[in-house]
Structure 1
């Protein structure tokens, strides 16, 4: 089970970075947008991974997989688009400078 173990750090990093933006403005909107993006990316991954595996462009050694599949695509392949959909907007939010607030006193 090599591939599931490779995915774990990406998922953990994504969760940590995303949760660190909870108190920042626009969190709910960002999560809704990320969820829609994740669904689209997962749909595309489902279609194209299955096509590429079906025409034998690549294959995965069974001993390195969890055994769970969606069609021909191993479930591990879906972690990357999921992480990208949530991690990139969260990183952008954290790295974008915010304007300084003036004292109203």
Structure 2
């Protein structure tokens, strides 16, 4: 078996592992949803565990794809920064 074929099979197995992990997370969330409403500490712990697992899955997906995936950014974007030496957008009278 060629190296390329082995690499492709390894990637397929990683994708299967991610899919199984997603299915397991969905089952866990369905089972724990009722309990989490009554127990705030359980809700926080589950939320943290889900965040960690999601980060692990994203890392695995990035490894398989070979490119970093864009991370979700929250908050207000800042103004564009322009170098003072660049006068392209300024109306400068000479």
- TM-score band by shorter chain is 0.3 to 0.5
* Larger relative contact order, structure 1 or 2 (CA cutoff 8 Å, min sep 6): 1
Structure-2-length-normalised TM-score: 0.38
Larger radius of gyration between Structure 1 and Structure 2: 2
